[in-house]
Chains A and B, each alone.
Chain A
Amino acid sequence: MGKTIAEKIFSQHSGEDARAGDLVIAHLDFIMGQDGTAPLAINSFHEMRGEKVFDPSKVAFVIDHSAPSPNEGVSSLHKLMREFTSKQGILLYDIGHGVCHQLMLEQGHVVPGDLVIGADSHTCTYGALNAFSTGVGSTDLAAGIISGKLWFKVPETIKFLCEGILPPGVFSKDLILYLIGDIGADGATYLAAEYCGETISALDVEERFTIANMAIEMGAKAGLMEFDEKVKKWVAGRSKKPPRPVFADPDAKYLEIRKYDLSHLEPQIACPHTVDNVSPVGQVEGLPVQQAFIGTCTNGRINDLRIAARILTGKKVSPGVRLIVAPSSRQVFLDAMNEGIIQVLVEAGAAIVTPGCGPCVGTHNGVPSDGEVVLSTANRNFKGRMGNSRASIYLASPATVAASAVTGRVTDPRPFFL
């Protein structure tokens, strides 16, 4: 019997013939922690009587969730991270570098075939590079940086076979929102998701990140994709590590194969307060918006900002709307400056904030008020997510958010792409 991508990666990293359902102890290629989870992991590291990180070159911490620090409590946690990383000789991406997942990808820490854990649920993003990456908590992170290993239950795999080319004005964000709406917020719990087919192949690697990023929003442990020339090229320009591509066997066993024709997909929107509460944008069109947010590990990359700039060139953000833009990394910020995108966004009336997570997780940089409607490119719309449980958060693509910022109401962006 053949193996899935997940079964192969766990076999290679555990030295066992790993099959779905097996429990394995596997070696880790890279480990990441951020400022919401690393401080607790540092405490656990000491409580576990850890002395040295197993391999300092395979660990990075990122200060992105509250960056720069909004209060003294956070400052002391950041200080703890700075002292620990300095003492252990591990890489720290301090404030301004950007969102952890963007850094892990663009700085070349992950290559195809890797097994990676991160103490952040959206660690599944790197699956788009044909790596198995999954989110863990602080104690698992501590055990990982002490031992270089972690125990895993090898997941069964559910395959999403996506056919058809997305129409103009419809993006990978719309695709993943549609899939989550179809299968539900717990539709892939404990499972690895494999996203493949013509639709995925046609997307750029950075557009694929948006899909893998949201695998966790259907409950999945990982959001895996196939290795191809696009991935090979993307990784070659960023990492010195040799890629070890992993291909599913033709006779691999899948729990389920779901087929989709996406050639007529409409722009999608996730309505409050769950990510699977998805409908076509048309059904919510006209709803007044008070805050629009473009950024995050889901949709804060250069191609996302290009789309926003295309819509906002020569236009103004509607009075009554606050448009907040957070480039997902310093490199994205620099690229956007070089391309004139930042000029376009600022002239349109956008407020640019430090690369990082702030508004998405409600720590600072854009907490909405009671009763307000927020339209965001993020991955979660839970009640209270942005720091106020009396606000309503809607999720959509950067195109839908930018178009709605111009009109002041939820707007189908397709007319901007005719």
Chain B
Amino acid sequence: MLLNGKAFKFGNDINTDYIISGKYKFKTLDMKELARHVMEDLDPQFFQKISEGDMIVAGSNFGCGSSREQAPLAIIYAGIGCVLASSFARIFYRNAINTGLPVIECDTSKIDEGDLLQVNLEKGIVLNRSKNLEIPITPLPQVMIKILSDGGLIKHFQKYGDFNFD
């Protein structure tokens, strides 16, 4: 799977309240509506700036805070192709895989705002096309690869009716 997009850079400790504020997420299950407010408290224009396939690039502990699955869902429905961070908070990481959002753990210090990126999940490499740099990806656990390749945990259950990692 090859993903192409432009980098939108954020810092460390980007929490789930920044990704989608609690004041919106408790109100509705309409993810398209929630997506309009993604990252709003950090950049009110974010949703207007991004195009389909663009990437969120952050530092350490991305997605810390609440267990709200609306966070990865709002990112997916906003059209973001994947999230790259030097590390992720645990619950967000699980939720992203379960909902089918590729989350890529790698050294993000060599990526700047606006860089054009190509992510190769099979080879485990991020190519920074603007800087002509290859950045290796920390490999995903097998269980997560299985869930992602099934299209998320819902589709995994549709297929098997239970957990099936054999």
The interface of chain A, by Cβ under 8 A from chain B, is: 23, 25, 35-37, 39-40, 43-44, 47-50, 65-66, 71, 73-74, 77, 119-121, 123, 135-140, 142-143, 146-147, 149, 151, 153, 185-186, 189-190, 216, 219, 221, 274, 361-363, 367, 380, 382-385, 387, 389
Contacts and interface: CB of A to CB of B under 8 A. Distances in A.
A380 B18 CA distance: 13
A120 B26 contact: no
Given A189-B89, A216-B91, A221-B90, 20 more contacts: A25-B163, A25-B165, A36-B25, A40-B29, A40-B70, A65-B22, A66-B26, A73-B28, A74-B26, A77-B29, A119-B67, A136-B94, A137-B68, A139-B95, A147-B163, A153-B141, A380-B17, A384-B18, A387-B21, A389-B41
A383 to B, nearest CB: 6
Interface in B65-98: 65-70, 72-73, 87, 89-91, 94-95, 98
A274 B27 contact: no
A412 B73 CA distance: 43
Interface stretch (B1-9, B113-121, B124-132, B151-159): B151-159
A361 B94 CA distance: 22
A35 B28 CA distance: 11
Interface of B: 13, 15, 17-18, 21-23, 25-29, 41, 60-61, 64-70, 72-73, 87, 89-91, 94-95, 98-99, 141-143, 152-154, 157-158, 161-163, 165
Contacts of A35: 26
A362 B29 contact: no
A149 B28 CA distance: 28
A186 B154 contact: no
Contacts of B23: 362-363, 367, 384, 387
B22 A362 contact: yes
B68 to A, nearest CB: 6
Contacts of B141: 23, 153
B89 A186 contact: yes
A189 B66 contact: no
5 contacts: A74-B27, A140-B95, A185-B13, A186-B89, A380-B15
Given A362-B23, A383-B17, A47 B154 contact: yes
B59 to A, nearest CB: 10
B67 A139 contact: no
A34 to B, nearest CB: 10
Given A48-B158, A137-B98, A185-B61, A71 B67 contact: no
A43 B17 contact: no
A219 B157 contact: no
Contacts of B70: 40
Contact of B18 (A25, A39, A135, A383): A383
Contact of B65 (A71, A153, A382): A382
B143 A151 contact: yes
B46 to A, nearest CB: 14
A74 B29 CA distance: 10
Given A140-B94, A361-B22, A380-B65, A146 B163 contact: no
A185 B64 contact: yes
A361 B15 CA distance: 13
A201 B106 CA distance: 41
A274 B95 contact: no
Contact of B27 (A43, A71, A151): A71
B17 A385 contact: yes
Contacts of B22: 36, 65, 361-363, 384-385, 387
B91 A37 contact: no
A49 B153 CA distance: 12
B117 to A, nearest CB: 24
Given A143-B163, A185-B13, A383-B17, A219 B68 contact: no
B27 A186 contact: no
A53 to B, nearest CB: 14
Contact of A383 (B41, B60, B68, B153): B41
B73 to A, nearest CB: 8
Contact of B91 (A65, A135, A385, A387): A135
Contacts of A384: 17-18, 21-23, 41
Contacts of A367: 23
A288 B73 CA distance: 39
A121 B162 contact: no
Contact of A140 (B13, B29, B98, B161): B98
